[in-house]
Amino acid sequence: MSGPLDDLSVVEIANWIAAPSATALMADMGASVIKIEPPSGDSMRNKLRQPRFPEGVKGTDMVFQMDNRGKRSLAIDLNHERGREIVAQLVDRADVLVTNLTRGRLERYGLGPEALHRRNPGLVFALATGQGSRGEEADNLAFDVTAFFGRGGVTGLLGEPDGPPVAPRPGAGDHATSLALLVAILGALRERDRTGEGQVVETALMRVGTWTVGCDMVTTLIDGRQPTRRSRTRPFSPMNTMYRCADGAWLVLSSHNQATWPEFCKAAERPELVSDPRADSAANRFANAEELVAIFDEAFGSQPFDYWVPRLKETSLIWSKMAELPDVIRDPQAREMGMFVELEHPDVGRFETLAAPFSFERSEVRARGRAPEVGEHTVEVLDELGMGEDAIRALLEAGVIKAPAPRS
């Protein structure tokens, strides 16, 4: 079975997570992806190595493996003019260039969109930034913690009303941004199918952060006010919060249909609250939410989660168990959806990682192999460009490129 992007050639000049994870998904869909790295390697390599991993896994960063699988690595020093010429030659043959280097840095290297489009008019030039590529802050560096969560407005909406901000989880904003970048690339490729012309597409961590909280932002655009943080104990309705069960598991509810109130009270074994004057209307349930949540805290806290499952299944409520990550791994539904994939690594052996977050009915989407070592495919890629052994050896000796020693 073929992949939907089998005929695409992609060059990546990027590091960390947001841009590389977009090209990893393109590789899953069959695209040929060449990752351009400095001789020292992508800055992300081994940055999030987990000390709790078994001894055999400690030498490999699993986050890097996820976001760089299925690619080939060309280690090249862009400070050398010859190195920049080689990259330009690769881009001449490419359908897509994906980068998160600043526009200023790209221009200094002679790898800006205008220069590359003169050489390859059909190129889709995809740029991932922190705060965009225009304005006074265009070249300011950013991570998702600062641009997506911080400046994008996400962190300001999270946490208890009077408490400190909630610390973001690593890479969450990056992976959301990668999906926006991927959508833009695929749209530009579709346009190129019609016109034959490439173009620049761009997304930014800050922009995607604000998009993710769009339900709040569109109201703030009208009234200019910051939404109030919502406490678990002060929701819009007792049917839209979380309750801790006797075994410590959390029940998550998100039921906006006020007609389900009698079902909720019956499932929680508090039928008397259906007609209680504190809760006999949506307005009263909102006004008395804190008091009502305390009652349901006591109710759901009296029995373990599994006790409530058959009672909740009899209702039309929207609910789930709050899963911790080991629970997700064991979840039969996650397995049914194909959320995980197994890869082979020469140092680690077989290991599981996340699969692409989408599937096709008639096309193959799969992880095509582990992430490469730094410069693992340098010689192979240059050979495809028509360079002979002597020319490649000269580049190695001059420090323009790097290639690892063959594995024994």
pLDDT band at 139 (very low <50, low <70, confident <90, very high): confident
Kindly report the number of other CB atoms within 10 A of residue 292's CB atom.
Answer: 24
Q: Has residue 56 got a pLDDT over 80?
A: no
> Residue 60: what pLDDT?
59
> Residue 1: what pLDDT?
81
Name residue 75's beta-bridge partners. 37, 402
Q: Has residue 366 got a pLDDT over 90?
A: yes
Q: What is the 3-state secondary structure (H, E, C) of 68-110?
A: HCCCEEEEECCCCHHHHHHHHHHHHCCCEEEECCCHHHHHHCC
**Tokens at 19, concatenated:** 């841009």
Mean of the pLDDT values across residues 63-78?
95
> Residue 379: what pLDDT?
95
Q: Has residue 59 got a pLDDT over 70?
A: no
Query: Mean pLDDT score of the chain, rounded to an integer?
Result: 93
Q: Which domains does the chain have, with CATH numbers?
A: 9-214+331-402 (3.40.50.10540), 242-316 (3.30.1540.10)
> Residue 55: what pLDDT?
47
Question: Which residue type is seen at 326?
Answer: P
> Residue 174: what pLDDT?
97
Alpha carbon distance 343, 57 (integer Å): 13
Query: What is the number of alpha carbons within 13 Å of residue 2 lying toward its C-beta?
Result: 6
More confident residue, 405 or 218: 218
Please state, in angstroms and as integers, the Cα–Cα distance from residue 176 to each residue in 44, 163, 172, 179, 326, following that order.
Answer: 18, 26, 6, 5, 22
Kindly report the number of other CB atoms within 10 A of residue 331's CB atom.
Answer: 14
Torsion sign, CA atoms 323, 49, 377, 87: positive
315-358 tens-digit pLDDT: 999 999 999 999 999 999 999 999 999 999 888 889 999 999 99
> Residue 62: what pLDDT?
87
Q: Has residue 74 got a pLDDT over 90?
A: yes
> Residue 218: what pLDDT?
96
Which regions of 41-85 does DSSP assign to beta strands (E)? Answer: 72-76
Question: Which residue type is seen at 132?
Answer: G
87-126 tens-digit pLDDT: 999 999 999 999 999 988 999 999 999 999 999 999 999 9
**Tokens at 7, concatenated:** 């005929």
Mean of the pLDDT values across residues 225-251?
94
> Residue 293: what pLDDT?
97
> Residue 407: what pLDDT?
66
Look-up of token digits 């006797």 = 246
Q: Has residue 245 got a pLDDT over 50?
A: yes
**Tokens at 390, concatenated:** 């002597």
Catalytic residues: 174
pLDDT-wise least confident of 168-177, 331-340, 344-353, 378-387: 344-353
Alpha carbon distance 46, 21 (integer Å): 16
Q: pLDDT above 70 covers what percent of the chain?
A: 96
Helix (H, G, I), strand (E, B) or coil at 226: coil
Kindly report the number of other CB atoms within 10 A of residue 230's CB atom.
Answer: 17
143-161 tens-digit pLDDT: 999 999 999 999 999 998 9
Q: Report the predicted TM-score, pTM, of the whole model to 2 decimal places.
A: 0.92
**Tokens at 220, concatenated:** 């703030």
280-327 tens-digit pLDDT: 999 999 999 999 999 999 999 999 999 999 999 999 999 999 999 999
> Residue 45: what pLDDT?
85
